[in-house]
Every structure is written in structure tokens, then in C-alpha cells.
Structure 1
Amino acid sequence: MLARQSLGRIANASVLGAAPAGARNMATLREIEMRLKSVRNIEKITKSMKVIASTKLNKAQRALQAGKAYGIANSELFQHAPSESTGKRKLFIVISSDKGMCGGIHSSVTKATRRAFAEKDAPFDQDSPIAVVGDKSKSQLSRILPKNIFLAFNQIGRDIPTFADAAGVADLIMKSGVEYDSVTIVYNKFLSAISYESATVEVETANSLKESAGFKAYEMEDDVTKDLAEFALANALYAALVEGHACEISARRNAMDNASKNAGDMISNLQLKYNRGRQAAITNELVDIITGASAL
């Protein structure tokens, strides 16, 4: 009788690593093994994306250094022609991208825009227009300030942004017919390969340039200030686009690095659980075999 019971227990434990009878919410060895395989595949993907982002980061940093010259040229111009505009309707241009998996870099510019509109004594009208570059910030701002968004751009800067991209954005803004007294570009400022921060830059409009003392000293046609304002906007947009792109690539590299480390930790924990479960299953089978042999 004992021999039959022992042989019955051996037959019931035919699957190595099966959960004990009546056990609930216990992961079997097969489930742990499948999860280990899944996490290892994810680790391979994140490591590959980290290598790709590291390669792109070098190119983005070189483009950033070249693009900063455009922003410096604007600063020099506006220093000699300070703004005297008193209007309160401000145009916000938010710079982000269409791609994700790069941490909270898109939320950074969204929060900066939201804080500007949330100020009690904001020096601009609350119905000021917003133009958004990139689908990520567009979807975020659409939930917070849906009535302010009048123009959105995507597919810009899929690779390294070019001046043609910035000029196209500036041209569409000028042709949109939106009325504004000043322009503020919200973008991510590149600090280092591991850090960034949201920043803003002011761009002079055609009216503010026309009314500034530096331009009043000379006789110029109206088209001169209008063309100069559009060119200055394109310059500022290009500088912001390349800097935001460098921040995005840097953030994606860091995010994939962290994801790879987390996957490695998960693999270590799952491997430990798998080894313990396998050892316990083998021990149980040995006990059943020895008990059955002793009974026989």
C-alpha cells in the first residue's frame, strides 16, 4: 500500500518545477523561464538602442555647436536693438519631437509652458497663441491649453534638424495670420551629456524692431524689418531645434542605459528564483524516489 502511494506521488510530479497541489499565485519554473527569456530579449534591445543613441549623440553635439552661432547672431542683433514693445499678446513656440522613450524631456517644456500660463501676474494675455513643434508636447498641451494651440508641426528633425526645417516653421507662422506682439521660444537647453533644463528665448518682432532706437536712426523700408524679423525667428528656431535634438538624444541614451541596468537586475533576481525553484523541485523528487525505494 505504501509502495503504491509513493509511486503515485512520483507520477504526479512528472513535470519538473510544477507548483505543489493547492498552491496559488506561485510562479512555476516554466513561467519564470519564459519571463527570463523575455527580459533578456528586452535587455538586448535596450543595449542596442543605447549604442545607437551614443553614436547619434556625437553628431548631435557637433550640430549643436554649429547651431549656437545662429543664436549668438540673434543675441548680438537684439542687444543693439532692444525691444520697446508694450503689447501683451505673446506667441509661444514650444520645441519638442515626435519620438518617445527618452525620459521626461517632453514634459519639461510642457511644464515650463504651463507654469508661464499659471502665473497670477503674467505679463501677457491668457489667450496668447501657442505653436507646437512635435507630437509629444502637442498631446500634452492639448489636455491643458487646448484653446491656445493654433498651429502644430511634426516630422521635423527626425534626424539632425536643418535650417530649412526652421525656415519652414517660421514661414508658416508668418503666413498663418496670427496676431502677436512678442515671441517666446520654449526649448530644452543642453547642459551636459547627462543633464538638461527647460529654457526660453525672446525673439523680436517686426514692429518692435521698427520702433527700437537702433533702427529709428536709419531710414529703411518696411520690408527690411519684416524680412529681418522672419530671418531672426528662423535663426532662433534653428538654434533651439538643434539644442533640443541634442537633449533628446542624450536623454534617450541615459534612459536606455538605465533600462539595461534594470533589466540586468531583473535577470539576476529571476535567475536566483529559478535556481531555487529548480533545486527545490529536484529535492522533492529525490525525497519521493528515496521514500518509494525504502517502502519497496
Structure 2
Amino acid sequence: MFSRLSNSAARSATLQSRNYATLRDIETRLKSIKNIEKITNTMKIVASTRLGKADRAKTTARVYIANDREVYSHAETAPVEAEQKSNLLIVMSSDKGLCGSIHSQIAKAARLRTAELQGQTVDIVAIGDKVKAQLNRTHSSNLVLAFNGIGKETPTFSDAALISDEILKLGKEYTNVEVFYNKFATSVSFEPTKASVYDAKSIEESPALSQYELDQDAKVPETLAEYSLANAIYAGLADGYAAEISARRNAMDNASKNAGDMISKYSILYNRTRQAVITNELVDIITGASSLD
């Protein structure tokens, strides 16, 4: 009799110990998920706050680039055909993550364009650590320049001008310059976009450029080309920043919702396990009391 009681008590103690261990594991995991939810909610609020400023910068930059393109449209500017084509791809993202596929999509667009230009000289300028890391894995030989510190604050034209100056310091003449950036489409979507930038020779040979009253200076086309490059970079940075902030807000919103769902499931599991522990304790008490009778 005592043997049966001792065996029953041993099994009960083992089960009780297992339930307590499971309960502690669930409690620890539940606490971790709640902490993650707090972080993602905070990041969502921060992104929502920054989005208004990013949207205003994007709108301003689009006015800049629209006026720039209107001038060259009226001047009937077109790329100059060259036997030996040299291409420069300026690819923009940022240094920060946790914003969905926004960095991988623009890197993919740049890789596809590089494949299309196979057989020609292709140099790549990476703006942002995220796109630099992705392109460095597949096109390290094409990377000639990289910038970081991108995405911390709302982009300005001064930022774009500094980047443009560093690119010009490379001292290379390119027959084709293309800027790749994520264009803000809606609050829940973005579009990897390519924009071309005219070089000084293309501007100089524009058929209708004479309709504008320009100084008779040989450096005017070169100055216009430099300004256009800075404009294109500014537009890309501003649009990309707005797209990134919006994508991060959506990503953190989804993460918070998923964390909330997991908290609900683990709370139910915790309560059921706790109930099982209490039930087992009651069974032990009743069994012990019965054995004394």
C-alpha cells in the first residue's frame, strides 16, 4: 500500500515539477513578447511623427525636379549617342532597417539594370549602408563610391549637393547617368524608380536651348549638368526617405498586431497551464487527505 502511495506521489511530483517549468517558460516568453510590442509601438509612433515632415520634403523636392525636367523638355534635350558607353548608376537607400523590403527592392532594380548593360562600363555609387551591403555581395567590382549617414534626418538640397560634389570629384565622364530610388506611391506602397540625368554635352547640344537667355559662357552646360545631378539626387533622397518612413510605420504596425495576437494566445496558454497546476495541487491535497483516512 505504502509502495503504491509513494509511486503515486513520485509521479505527481514529477508532473507538478514539469508544469511549473512550463509555466515559467510561458511567463518568460510572454514578458519578452510584451517588451517587443512596446518597442514596435514606440517605433510606429516615431515613424508616424516623422512622416509629415518627410512628406513635405518630398513635395518640395518633386517641385525642384519637375521644373528641372520641364526646362530640358522645352530645350528638346536628348542623350548623346556614343560608341563607347560608360554608365553611372546612383542607387539610394539608407542606413536603417526594419522597413520591409524597401532596400532589397531597390538593390534588385540596380542589379537587373546592370545585367541589361552587360558589355558596357558600369560604375555604381551606393547611397546608404543597406544597399551598399547588398550590392557589395554581387557587384563589388562595380562599386566606386559609397555614402552612409543617410536616413537619420530629413534630406535637404545641401545633402544632395555634397553627394553630387563627391561624385564629380571622381573625375570620370559618363555618357549615361541614372538615379535609382524608391518612389513614394501611397501610404502602403512604394515603387523602385529610375531617373536619367543629362550630361553637359547633351545639354550643350540641345536644339532649343537658345530660347533661354543664358550667359555666353562655355561652362554654362557643365554648371547646368551639375545642378541637374544635385536636383535628381535630392528628389531621390526625399522620395526615398518618405517611402522608407511610411514602410517602417507599416512594418511596425504589423509587428505590433502580430505581437498582440501572440500575447493573446500565450495568455490563454498561461492561464490554462496555471489552472492545470492548481488542479494538480488540489488533487494531491485530496489524495493525501484520503490516504490518512
In the alignment, which residue of structure 2 is the partner of 1:149?
143
Deviation at 1:203, TM superposition (A): 0.8
- The question of 1:117 aligning with 2:114 is answered yes
Deviation at 1:12, TM superposition (A): 3.2
- Within-5 A mapping of 1:143-182: 143-182=137-176
Instruction: Measure the CA separation in 1 of the matches of 2:263 and 2:50.
Output: 28
The TM-score, its normalising length taken from structure 2, stands at 0.91
List gaps (5 residues or longer) in structure 1.
21-25
Deviation at 1:155, TM superposition (A): 1.1
Instruction: Measure the CA separation in 1 of the matches of 2:256 and 2:130.
Output: 24
| Match among 225, 231, 244 for residue 248 of structure 1 | 244
Q: Secondary structure at the match of 1:102?
A: coil
Q: Which residue type is aligned with residue 178 of structure 1?
A: K
Shift of the 40–85 alpha-carbon distance from structure 1 to 2, 3 Å rule, reads: same
In the alignment, which residue of structure 2 is the partner of 1:195?
189
- 1:210-258 residue CA offsets vs partner (Å, 9 max, x unmatched): 1221237888332111111001111111111100000010000001001
In the alignment, which residue of structure 2 is the partner of 1:59?
53
Provide the alpha-carbon RMSD of the alignment: 2.3
Does structure 2 conserve the Cα–Cα contact (< 8 Å) formed by 1:91 and 1:184?
A: yes
Instruction: Measure the CA separation in 1 of the matches of 2:122 and 2:237.
Output: 22
The TM-score, its normalising length taken from structure 1, stands at 0.90
| Match among 178, 184, 199 for residue 178 of structure 2 | 184
Does structure 2 conserve the Cα–Cα contact (< 8 Å) formed by 1:6 and 1:291?
A: no
- The share of aligned pairs that are identical, in percent, is 51
In the alignment, which residue of structure 2 is the partner of 1:83?
78
Does structure 2 conserve the Cα–Cα contact (< 8 Å) formed by 1:36 and 1:271?
A: yes
Q: Which residue type is aligned with residue 177 of structure 2?
A: V
In the alignment, which residue of structure 2 is the partner of 1:210?
204
List gaps (5 residues or longer) in structure 2.
none
- 1:58-105 residue CA offsets vs partner (Å, 9 max, x unmatched): 111111111111110121122123214113211110011011111111
Instruction: Measure the CA separation in 2 of the matches of 1:258 and 1:51.
Output: 13
- The question of 1:71 aligning with 2:72 is answered no
Shift of the 257–10 alpha-carbon distance from structure 1 to 2, 3 Å rule, reads: same
Instruction: Measure the CA separation in 1 of the matches of 2:32 and 2:16.
Output: 19
Deviation at 1:157, TM superposition (A): 4.1
Instruction: Measure the CA separation in 1 of the matches of 2:16 and 2:207.
Output: 83
Q: Secondary structure at the match of 1:28?
A: helix
Does structure 2 conserve the Cα–Cα contact (< 8 Å) formed by 1:64 and 1:246?
A: yes
